[in-house]
Amino acid sequence: MSRADELVVVEQTDNGACIARLVPSNVLDELQITGIGRQLTDLVDQGARRLVVDFSRVDHLSSSALGMLITVRQGLSQVKGDMRLCNIRPEIYEVFKITGLDKLFVIQPTVTEALASLR
Amino acid sequence: MVDIDLTKLAFESVVIGNDLKVAAERVVRPILTQASRCGYCSQDQFALRLALEESLCNAFRHGNGCDPDKRISARWAIREDVAVICVADEGDGFDPSAVPDPRREENREKPYGRGVMLMRAYMTELRFNEQGNEVCMIKVRKRSGARPTGT
């Protein structure tokens, strides 16, 4: 169980994948973005190789947050892991599309579909 | 180019320390409140917030180099037809035309360099001062349903 002050709520599935649900945060707070990145990186350091990042509670995004996700993805790639993003609302998806990151990240509609596509 | 003379606008302005939490409270919040009161739709408010936060992050990090002794200046005029927001830092400035396109394949995996592009995509027009340490973002109010162009 995650602490209330954590920025990411993590759930481990039966087959070893990790679901990281991003908790809403002030996008201007660089420390929070750094904190989210650190928590996701810690998951990889602790052995997670299949990671699903759930955006269902995210209603805003910054380029700093995009950079953090790219860094996490690179860390996972180095250990031959993989990640999926899911539950991204349309206006947030638009940000990925405008920046071309819809071509870098695999984005799935739901957690279930994201987990299925990681198998 | 938007036909608007920025020198003739009645701006509200603040000068704050190089602190993003203070910027959220004293710049982002009043601007979004005024935009809501002026009838900007949720898409326009999303666009204003995104571009404004990118400009403030750029001022904090790249312009002022995260230096707590430097300041950020912001001024804004939110009208029913158009919103103009200017953010300035105390840095040396930069050449916005020299920022590489983050959509190119060789830049796609770089974890930085998307702020100005997002500001361009979500605003109607950006105007930089000659030194490159102030950006004025102009958003013509759109009808609900319009999407950013990504160009």
Q: B89-110 pLDDT, tens per residue?
A: 999 999 999 999 999 999 999 9
Digit-coded pLDDT (tens) for B4-45: 999 999 999 999 999 998 999 999 999 999 999 999 999 999
Q: For position A14, what pLDDT does the model report?
A: 85
Nearest chain A Cα distance for residue B46, angstroms:
8
Closest CB from A61, A74, A100 relative to B102: A100
Say whether pLDDT at B114 is over 80. yes
Which chain B residues are Cβ-neighbours of A27 within 8 angstroms? 53
Distance CA B1, CA B52 (A): 20
Which of B21, B28, B114 has the CB atom closest to A66's CB atom? B114
Chain B interface disruption, residue of A99, A102, A104, A105, most B CBs within 10 A: A99
Read off the pLDDT band of A1 (50, 70, 90): very low
- How far apart are alpha carbons A92 and B135 in whole angstroms? 24
How high is the pLDDT of residue A48? 93
Least confident of A7-21, A25-39, A42-56, B128-142: A25-39
HSE at residue A46, side-chain half, CA atoms within 13 A, is: 12
Tell me whether strands A50-54 and A82-86 are parallel, antiparallel or unpaired: parallel
Residue A16, Cβ neighbours under 10 Å: how many? 10
Q: Across residues B125-143, what is the average pLDDT?
A: 94
Q: How many CB atoms lie under 10 A from the CB of residue B129?
A: 12
Q: Which chain B positions have a beta carbon within 8 Å of A29's beta carbon?
A: 20-21, 24
pLDDT tops 60 at residue B145: no
User: Of A61, A68, A97, which has the smallest distance from its Cβ to B150's Cβ?
Assistant: A97
pLDDT computed for residue B120 by the predictor? 97
Averaged pLDDT, A3-23: 83
Say how far apart CA B138 and CA A44 lie, in whole Å. Answer: 42
Query: Residue A33 — pLDDT band, cuts 50, 70, 90?
Result: confident
How large is the average pLDDT for residues A68-78?
96
pLDDT-derived band at A31, boundaries 50, 70, 90: confident
pLDDT of A11 strictly over 70: yes
What is the rounded average pLDDT for all residues in chain A? 89
Minimal C-alpha gap between B96 and chain A (Å): 16
A9: three-class secondary structure by DSSP: strand
- Report residue A25's pLDDT band, with 50, 70 and 90 as the boundaries: low
Query: Among positive and negative, which fits the CA dihedral B47, A89, B59, B96?
Result: negative
**Nearest CB to A71; choose among B20, B111, B115:** B111
Torsion of CA B126, B145, A100, B84, to 10 degrees: 10
Q: What's chain B's average pLDDT?
A: 93
